[in-house]
Structure 1
């Protein structure tokens, strides 16, 4: 029986605030654990430096040194797996502990950002680079993530694609929409999320015929989002922030899922919608285009094309049925727990068998 140490520097699977980051960390732990093998959360240490402070980074480095010594003293793991090491929250534990214990070190969604060298995050970027260099296996979620990793890949390292996946073994029951309902879901905060809402409002203004929208999400910019949607009156309904059960019900009512996806890494909501058989309409952006098929993508800066794509899903039953079936098939083959487990253990198993 193998024991695997798991660590997520940016956000622990037990973090009190729900987010895509936390969901992915939890899903990874579940995917790693299987019969005769167990996974332990090695630490909840969170070395997150939001503002780029050398003083803060020095304090985290000192704290990490003490934590690593305690983990090394335990010395009972067969491999170490870390999730999401980057310049604001590098993995300060995995490389040290795994090297000292002589166990394999695997890193999921590690990134390099050499442009941060010489700046306020210089120390942390160097640590993020060190973590990349130390890994025996580097897993990447998207082709975009793989580019920098491939450029600096060392002879002893393996680079493995791990498609984003849902925390479920099978597909849910398919949606059964009874109205021309579009579901929009996203946090309501400044920056990229608000930009997606602004695009959504622009597209809805171009959408013809009978349609309704439900919006799942909340946040500090809710008043701004409500103002953007005010011209559409009762056609738009705000659901607020929903838990998993609430989102499931929202997907079941929806005929289409719409989220432009400004600077999304990939977006778990796209996979969730497609798992329910809800066809997606989004902008053709890096990351998004790896979880949404070409049929659901429209070029950036073409709001009319987005409106037409939504209109076709709302009004063409045969087209909608084909897109719905294709969406579920895509998720079933590539984005469920089983596929992720096979990929992770395909890299883990040989390393563990070689460990003395």
Structure 2
């Protein structure tokens, strides 16, 4: 099976790390795990973050040139389907539908967002392109049940919707860690939703006893000074580790007691999967997206605020046996639902629905 793959928001070989890049890489790995040959069709980044009509016009012109090139490449390589990861109004797939139509092959989308309210305003042209791509898809895979709501509402014709649980780019988990070190938070230090999560963390820490706990923060970004100011009242109990590579972060997971991340407006959060794969219990709020990747458990409602999170942290910090049980259950959950074998099987089931088989 030979497939064309495209990620218009951020290509898997983009130099800057992000969750989007990590998921693009994981999707290719899952397809290759099932035996497919995957060609990264294009690295054209279609993102327009400001609603710039000139930029949109330039990107549409670049996309037309790519369509011509890729039709020839697809015929030469014998692509049997085209798969695009992440199509939405700020970074629509301007290429895949045309190439798939020209080659007469199925067009599949992974993570497509419907935003018809954007069909007027500065992103109107790109929003229409994103809607056109979503309408053209034979299959749309969605990561979270929240995503499925608008996809179901605006489903086109006989289009198939398939739940693809978020997953890690590995086929097994290691031996469970012993969750007995400091608490851990993992998140970029940037304005917006990430900073909102750090505010909740600071509010929660203020309700813990003055001693007996410590927190490490893995991540960096433009809002570091603001996050450091939030954590300043706790002195050396909070340690900043900076941006860590995958190996270093794995070591940190294995020497932590739990992951603490509220998850404000997280799409789903790969850090939750990574921590659980290492055998860590998670303290998070019960939010859409987040609940799609967490093992079954007790996660406070956001409306209950910092007091509920503090109570949950105190319960876990004072009960090592509970941490161990929760960590083991979390690891088993990830092993069953959120690794390459399960993801590969789901992706190939979608290809089969389009008549594409290994």
Cα offset, 1:139, TM superposition = 0.3
Structure 2 unaligned regions, length at least 5: none
Shift of 1:354: 8.1
Residue 206 (structure 2) aligns with: 205
1:354–1:237 Cα change, 3 Å:
closer
8 Å contact kept, 2:256–2:280? yes
* CA distance in structure 2 between the partners assigned to 1:64 and 1:271 by the alignment: 35
- Asked whether the equivalents of residues 187 and 219 of structure 2 are also in contact (C-alpha less than 8 Å), the reply is yes
CA contact (8 A) 2:276 2:282 kept: yes
Q: Please, which of 262, 265, 279 is the counterpart of residue 263 of structure 1?
A: 265
Alpha-carbon distance between aligned partners in 2 of 1:203 and 1:64, rounded to the nearest angstrom: 48
CA distance in 1, matches of 2:333, 2:357: 35
Gaps of 5+ in 1: none
Shift in alpha-carbon separation, 1:242–1:259, aligned structure 2, 3 A: same
| Residue equivalent to 1:303 | 306
Question: Cα gap change, 1:36/1:236 in structure 2, threshold over 3 Å: closer, same or farther?
Answer: closer
Q: Do the aligned partners of residues 213 and 274 (structure 1) sit closer, same or farther apart at CA in structure 2, a change above 3 Å counting?
A: same
Task: State the match for 2:119 in structure 1.
Answer: 117
Moved over 6 A (4+): none
CA contact (8 A) 1:78 1:352 kept: no
1:26-37 aligned at under 5 Å gives the runs: 26-34=25-33, 36-37=35-36
Question: Which residue is equivalent to 1:345?
Answer: 348
Residue 59 of structure 1, CA deviation: 1.3
Aligned to 1:158: 160
Alpha-carbon spacing, 1:353–1:189, altered in 2? closer, same or farther (3 Å): closer
SS at match of 2:331: helix
Q: 1:90 touches 1:125 (CA, 8 Å); kept in 2?
A: yes
Question: Aligned ranges for residues 273-352 of structure 1 at < 5 Å?
Answer: 273-301=275-303, 302-352=305-355
Whole-Å Cα distance in 1 between the matches of residues 158 and 164 of structure 2?
A: 19
* Shift in Å, 1:311: 1.2
Counterpart Cα distance in 2 of 1:53 and 1:177 = 48
TM-score, structure 1 as length reference:
0.96
In 2 relative to 1, CA 119–138 (structure 1 residues): closer, same or farther, beyond 3 Å? same
Indicate conservation of the 8 Å contact 1:279/1:296, yes or no: no
Q: How many residues align?
A: 353
CA contact under 8 A between 1:282 and 1:296: conserved in structure 2?
no
